[in-house]
Amino acid sequence: MNQDELTSKIAFNVIQGRVEAEDEGYDEGLEGQPGVTELVQQALEEELNPKAIVLEGLTAAMDVVGEKFERGEYLIPDMLASAECVGAAMDILTPHLVKAGVESKGKFVIATVVGDLHDIGKNIVSIMLKGGGYEVIDLGADVSIERIIEAVDEHQAPFLGLSALLTTTMRVMGDVVDKLKERGLRDRVKVLIGGAPTSIEFANQIGADAHCRDAFDALDALKAMRA
């Protein structure tokens, strides 16, 4: 099977949300056919360029998933299933990308702020950033301000993503930005925020660098920052 055929099959199965052969897809009748992990392994065995697998198989597929989500064809569980496919593929591909000399686009610390246990949106963003070539340090949910600051400092991360789904917890994002300033770290880290109650206006109010509606918005914002 040539590169185009294999990467197209990988992309198709990402869109279908099929991590493994035993998984059902968005469409019927796919159970038993190779899923993303089997196809990625096959691609590596056939010595396909791991970067091509990411760009043509994973990134291209998630572009389609994003379009389907925007049109209302996919709901959050559908997008999460596809994101999980990307995460599983990246776990397999990362050592090969490093070996091939594919450089990281930068370290990205991400967390749901203290007092907030919601992490589905953050998890999707985290997986998508990995697929986009970023080295992601995911601190999880309900993360204290101090731990976030320590992670940015420890990893010398140029990017920080903050998530919140509650109006009561999103205010913590402003406290994080203030603490970055207090520690002398603010000038070297770009802060991106997201979550249902947040907005561009709120991002401007607390001094964040970008407001992201979803994972695709985050990738676009990062691309603009790195231009």
CA 109 from chain center: how many Å? 11
Query: Residues of 96-130 as b/e, b for ≥16 C-beta within 10 angstroms?
Result: bbeeeebeebbbbbbbbbbbbebbbbbbbbbbbbb
pTM: 0.81
Residue pair 107/155 in contact by the 8 Å Cβ criterion:
yes
So what's the pLDDT on residue 104?
Answer: 84
Q: What's the Cα-to-Cα distance from 103 to each of 94, 132, 179, 214, 222, rounded to whole Å?
A: 11, 11, 30, 25, 16
So what's the pLDDT on residue 227?
Answer: 74
So what's the pLDDT on residue 35?
Answer: 97
What SS3 state is found at 166?
coil
So what's the pLDDT on residue 99?
Answer: 84
So what's the pLDDT on residue 93?
Answer: 92
Q: Which residues of the chain have pLDDT under 70?
A: none
So what's the pLDDT on residue 10?
Answer: 97
> How do the domains of the chain map onto residue ranges?
3-99, 107-226
CATH number at 107-226: 3.40.50.280
Architecture of domain 3-99: Orthogonal Bundle (1.10)
